[in-house]
Chain A
C-alpha cells in the first residue's frame, strides 16, 4: 500500500488559542463495523459480539468496547497533533454505551496551552456523543506540538 499525502497537515503551537475547537468527526456505527472492530482490537469479550450474552448482564444489546472508545479519542488528538506532534496523555470516563445504529460525534476544545521543560503542552477536553443517549464519554487529553521556529 502506498499512501502519499505530502505535506501532511501540521498544527503548530503558535497558531492555536485556548477556546479553539478541534475539527471533530462523525460517523454511523454499523453492525459490520462492530464486527470489524472486535476483530481489529482482538477484544472477544462476549458483551461486544453476542446479544443474548449482553442482555443476560442487564444490557440492552451488544455495545462498542473500551478500546474503540479510546481509539476514537486518540484519533481526534492524533489528527490535531499532526505527524510531528505527540499524544502524551489521555484520560476518559465511560458514562453511556455506543451501539450499532448510533451516529456518533467526536469533538474537542483547547482548554490550556503552556511552554514547559517537556515542550509545548496543549490541554484538550474531548467528548463522544451519540444520537440515542447524548453524552457517552468525557475525556481530557494532553498533546505536545511543534513550534514554527
Chain B
C-alpha cells in the first residue's frame, strides 16, 4: 500500500480535513535572518539584468532628495533576494554531499519551532500565485528576517493533473528594528498525479 493511496479513495477529500482544521495555524512562527545585510553592490547586480534604471536604487543623494532614508532596495526582492539564507555557511554540512548529476543542496535549516503541516502525502506541487503587500522600504544596511508559514486557506480539488488541494500560506518580513516590511501570501497546489 502506497502512502498516496488516499488519492484513490472515493472520499479522498477527507484526507485533507486535518489541514482544513488547521487553518489559521502558523507552522513556523520563529524568524530566519538573512545571511547578509542588504548591500549596495547586491542592489546593482539585482537591477542590472532587469534594466531597472530608477536612480534612487543607486544614488544616495537622489534617494534622499526624494525623502528616502538612504538607498532603498527594490521591494520586489524583499520576499526572496533580500531574505536569502545562503547555500552554505561554516556551521552547516557540505552543500553538495554527493557527485550525482542532479544533486541539489539541502534546504537551509528550518527555524527551530517549524512543524510540518498535517497534509496527506503528495508527490507533486506547483506555485499558483503570489500576493505581496509592502508596508515600508528596506535600505542598504538593513538585515531582514523572514518568519511565518500561516495557513490561510485549503481547498481540496480534483484538477486535470491529479487530486490534491489549493493552499495559501502567509509569511512576514521584518527589519532589524522589528518593523513589518512586507506580508507575503503564496498559493500552491500540491497533489498526486493521475496514473
Contacts and interface: CB of A to CB of B under 8 A. Distances in A.
Interface of A: 1-6, 8, 25, 27, 33, 36-37, 39-46, 50, 52-53, 56, 66-68, 70-75, 78-79, 83-84, 86-94
Contacts of A1: 44, 58-59
Closest 8 pairs between A and B when the two form their complex, measured CB to CB: A74-B76, A3-B55, A36-B49, A83-B66, A91-B131, A40-B45, A71-B76, A37-B49
B130 interface: yes
Contacts of A4: 55, 59, 62
B81 A41 contact: yes
Nearest to A137: B129
Contacts of B87: 44
B115 interface: no
Interface residues on B, range: 35 or more
Contact of B133 (A3, A36, A89, A92): A89
Nearest to A84: B66
Interface in B67-93: 67, 74-77, 79-81, 84, 87
Contact of A33 (B49, B59, B102): B49
Interface of B: 42, 44-52, 54-56, 58-59, 61-62, 65-67, 74-77, 79-81, 84, 87, 101-102, 104-105, 127-134
B170 to A, nearest CB: 13
A54 B105 CA distance: 16
A73 B55 CA distance: 18
Nearest to A89: B133
Contacts of A44: 87, 105
